[in-house]
């Protein structure tokens, strides 16, 4: 039994004394101990070495009174497993030498046996659970099929993913085939994570907000919903779509346990769109962690009061930024722990 199950209670919609708290990208680049490992090992070596991924996962847990851990990994390990050779380029980010732009390339993409290609992730889960020793739950995650397609077609990060969108609109058949292959791989991957012991999974749709509401339904949500349908009988599924407030009403009709929201929507509108019927997660602006600890504390307390403590998970509206002072991250977390209704 997990000793601190506040996060799981919130996912079940139960009454709690205070909401749980964790931060997207909490295992990462704002921590000096993470930077130490980053200086020794390249990005995908950290992801693909279970001992390193496990160590990075628990680094913030040693420092802060967090209510959940999230496994250190990356959404691009899924396309790598499918034979799409992503690298992490210095000062550029994700990089693909040969982006997917043709039907022939899509036909050549494989749906792998995840046990063969992603075994290092499952080993990292085992090691991490041993370190966590049932203190708090462990979250597993994957990128949404649309977000992964964006990187596969664009070949790198982008402000608008125009090439990826053009590919979908000019060659929808190939786009849907690629999205389905990514979906099938992701379902197998997340199911195996659940078998290995994660307590919940989160799907990150980082680039869903690039699409119009109509195109979002066609090229993103229908594939996320397949993942939700496949995983929801096995575990809690959280969906976070950055910039996707317009889809909240559709999302809440699915079998998700919670929906993440970013900082561009008010708590009141998010509750209204979801009919106050589902757990929400978010939505502190990560850049606001540059404010003073006192301001952060006040803003976090206001945020909780506006969302209400039940059916709510305190988090950022996206991942923590690399230049945030550690004491400000701590102020954010402690503000939740010390909140009194």
151 annotated ligand binder: yes
- Residue 116 designated active-site: no
Catalytic residue among 12, 29, 63, 306: 29
Whole-Å CA distances, 219 to 75, 94, 211, 230, 248:
18, 22, 8, 18, 16
Residue 250 buriedness (CB in 10 A; 0-12 / 13-18 / 19+):
middle
Place of tokens 């540059």: 290
Evaluate the omega torsion of the peptide bond into residue 283 and state whether it is cis, within 30 degrees of 0.
yes
**CA–CA separation, 5 and 121 (whole Å):** 24
Q: Catalytic one among 25, 120, 285, 308?
A: 25
Query: Which among 7, 18, 30, 151 is annotated as catalytic?
Result: 151
**Do the annotations mark residue 307 as ligand-binding?**
no
Number of Cβ within 10 Å of residue 334's Cβ equals 18
Choose, from 12, 38, 63, 306, the residue flagged as catalytic: 38
Active site residue 298: no
Q: Is 28 marked as a binding-site residue?
A: yes
Say which of 74, 184, 225, 262 is annotated catalytic. 74
44 is in an annotated binding site: yes
**For residue 122, which phi and psi values (nearest 5 degrees)?**
-70, -35
The reply to whether 155 sits in an annotated binding site is no
Spatial contact of 212 and 168, defined as CB atoms under 8 Å apart: no
Task: Please say if 189 is a catalytic residue.
Answer: no
The reply, when asked if residue 74 is annotated as ligand binding, is yes
Catalytic status, residue 38: yes
Active site residue 216: no
Q: How many contiguous H segments (helices) and E segments (strands) does the chain have?
A: 17, 9
Please name which of 41, 44, 38 lies closest in space to residue 59, comparing C-alpha atoms: 38
What residues are paired with 94 via a beta bridge? 88
Binding-site annotation: residue ranges: 25-29, 44, 74, 151, 206, 318
Binding-site annotation: residue ranges for substrate: 25-29, 44, 74, 151, 206, 318
Q: Which residues are catalytic?
A: 25, 29, 38, 74, 151
């Amino acid at each position: 039994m997990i000793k601190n199950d506040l996060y799981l209670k919130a996912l079940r919609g139960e009454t709690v004394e205070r909401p749980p708290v964790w931060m997207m990208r909490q295992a990462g680049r704002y921590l000096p101990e993470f930077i130490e490992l980053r200086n020794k090992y390249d990005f995908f070596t950290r992801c693909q070495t279970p001992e390193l991924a496990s160590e990075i996962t628990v680094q913030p847990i040693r420092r802060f009174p967090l209510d959940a851990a999230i496994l250190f990994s990356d959404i691009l390990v899924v396309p790598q497993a499918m034979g799409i050779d992503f690298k992490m380029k210095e000062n550029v980010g994700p990089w693909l030498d040969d982006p997917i732009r043709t039907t022939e390339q899509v036909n050549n993409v494989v749906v792998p046996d995840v046990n063969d290609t992603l075994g290092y992730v499952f080993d990292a889960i085992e090691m991490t659970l041993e370190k966590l020793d049932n203190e708090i739950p462990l979250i597993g995650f994957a990128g949404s099929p649309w977000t992964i397609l964006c990187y596969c077609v664009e070949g790198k990060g982008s402000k608008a993913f125009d090439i990826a969108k053009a590919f979908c609109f000019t060659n929808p058949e190939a786009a849907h085939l690629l999205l389905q292959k990514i979906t099938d791989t992701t379902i197998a991957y997340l199911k195996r994570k659940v078998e290995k012991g994660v307590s919940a999974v989160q799907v990150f749709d980082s680039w869903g907000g690039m699409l119009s509401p109509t195109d979002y339904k066609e090229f993103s949500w229908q594939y996320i919903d397949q993942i939700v349908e496949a995983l929801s009988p096995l575990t809690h599924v959280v969906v976070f779509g950055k910039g996707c407030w317009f889809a909240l009403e559709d999302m809440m009709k699915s079998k998700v346990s919670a929906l993440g929201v970013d900082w561009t929507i008010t708590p009141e509108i998010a509750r209204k769109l979801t009919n106050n019927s589902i757990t929400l997660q978010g939505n502190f602006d990560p850049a606001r962690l540059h404010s003073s600890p006192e301001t952060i504390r006040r803003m976090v307390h206001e945020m909780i009061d506006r969302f209400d403590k039940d059916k709510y998970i305190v988090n950022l509206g996206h991942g923590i930024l690399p230049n945030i002072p550690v004491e400000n991250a701590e102020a954010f977390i402690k503000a939740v722990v010390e909140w009194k209704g």
